[in-house]
Structure 1
C-alpha cells in the first residue's frame, strides 16, 4: 500500500514508519519542517495541497497533534481553541478532504490518547480533544464505508517515562513499538470505528 504518514518525525511517527515499511508498504512522510512533503495540517488549504502532491494513496495515518497543558483556572478560550485545531480539526480535515482522495477500500488511522478516559491534572484540553476525536471516529465510520477509520489511544510511552512519567503515577506505560504495531493492525485489518486503547 501507499501510505501517507503525518507526524513522521516524532517518536511515535518514526516507530510507525519503521513498522509499516518493514511490512513492505510505500510510506510518504509528512511533517511541518521535515519529511518527504512539508505541510501544516492545521491549515485546511495546506491539507488540500498535501493531497494534490501525494496523488493516489491507500491509507492515511496520523501521529500528530498539539495541545496545551495548564490548570483549568489558567486556561483561556484560545487555549481550548488551539487544542481543538491542533489535534481534532486538523485530523478531521485529513478525513474530510481525504475521503475523495484515497482508495475505495482505503483507511484512516488517527491518534487520540488515554487522557480521553483517564485524565490527569492540567489535561483538560487534551482530554477534550481526545474525546472529541474518538467520537468523530465512531460517527465517521458509519458514513464513509467501505473506507475505514480508527483511532489509536495509547497511554504514556515507556520511552517517555523520564520526561512524563511523573504525570502518570501508577499508570502502566506502553512501548512505542507496541503502539506502532497497533497502527499496522488498523491499516491492514478489517475493523472500522474502533478506538484501540493500549
Structure 2
C-alpha cells in the first residue's frame, strides 16, 4: 500500500514509519520540519497541498497533534483553540479532504490518547482534544464506508518515561513497538470506528 504518514519525524511517527516500511508498504512522510513533504497540517490549505503532492494513496496515518499543558485556571480561550486546531481540526481535515483522494477501501488512522479517559493535572486541553477525536472517529466511520477510520490511543511511551513518567503515576507505560502494531492493525485489518487503547 501507499501510505501517507503525518508527523513522521516525531518519536511515534519514526517508529510507525519504520514498522510500516518493514512490512513492505510505500510510506510517504509528512512533517513540519522534515519528511518527504514539509507541511503543517494544522493549516487546512496545507492539508490540500499535501494531498495534491501525494497523488492517489491507500491509507492516511496520523501520529501528530499539538496541545498546550497548563492548569485550567491558567488556560485562556486561545489555548483551547490551539488544542482544537493542533490535534482535532488538523486530523478532521485529513479525513474530510482525504475521502475523495484515497482508495475506495482505504483507511485513516488518527492519534488520540489516554487523557481522554484518564486525565491528569494540566491536561484539560489534551483531554478535550482526545475526546473530540474519538467522537469524530465513531461518527465518521458510519458515513465514509467502505473506507475505514480508526484511532490509536496510547498511554505514556516506555521510551519517554524519563521525560513524562512523573505526569502518569501508577499508569503502565507502553512501548513504541506495541503502539506501532496498533497502526498496522488499523491499516491492514478490516475494522472501522475503533479506538485502539494501549
TM norm structure 1: 1.00
| Residues 33-48 of structure 1 mapped to structure 2, 5 A cutoff | 33-48=33-48
1:132 aligns with 132
Give 3-state SS (helix, strand or coil) of 1:160's partner: helix
Whole-angstrom distance in 2 between the partners of 1:170 and 1:33: 34
Whole-angstrom distance in 2 between the partners of 1:27 and 1:116: 29
1:12 aligns with 12
1:23 aligns with 23
2:104 aligns with 104
Over residues 111-163 of structure 1, what are the superposed CA-to-partner deviations in whole Å (9 max), with x where a residue is unaligned? 00000000000000000000000000000000000000000000000000000
Whole-angstrom distance in 2 between the partners of 1:49 and 1:83: 22
Whole-angstrom distance in 2 between the partners of 1:35 and 1:82: 24
Whole-angstrom distance in 2 between the partners of 1:15 and 1:173: 16
Whole-angstrom distance in 2 between the partners of 1:43 and 1:167: 30
Give 3-state SS (helix, strand or coil) of 1:118's partner: coil
Whole-angstrom distance in 1 between the partners of 2:11 and 2:47: 22
Whole-angstrom distance in 1 between the partners of 2:105 and 2:145: 8
Give 3-state SS (helix, strand or coil) of 2:121's partner: coil
Whole-angstrom distance in 1 between the partners of 2:44 and 2:161: 34
Give 3-state SS (helix, strand or coil) of 2:106's partner: strand
Query: 1:43 deviation in Å?
Result: 0.6
Query: 1:33 deviation in Å?
Result: 1.1
RMSD of equivalent CA atoms: 0.3
TM norm structure 2: 1.00
Over residues 81-126 of structure 1, what are the superposed CA-to-partner deviations in whole Å (9 max), with x where a residue is unaligned? 0000000000000000000000000000000000000000000000
2:2 aligns with 2
Runs of 4+ aligned residues of structure 1 deviating over 6 Å after TM superposition are none
1:152 aligns with 152
2:175 aligns with 175
| Residues 55-70 of structure 1 mapped to structure 2, 5 A cutoff | 55-70=55-70
Give 3-state SS (helix, strand or coil) of 1:79's partner: helix
Whole-angstrom distance in 2 between the partners of 1:97 and 1:17: 22
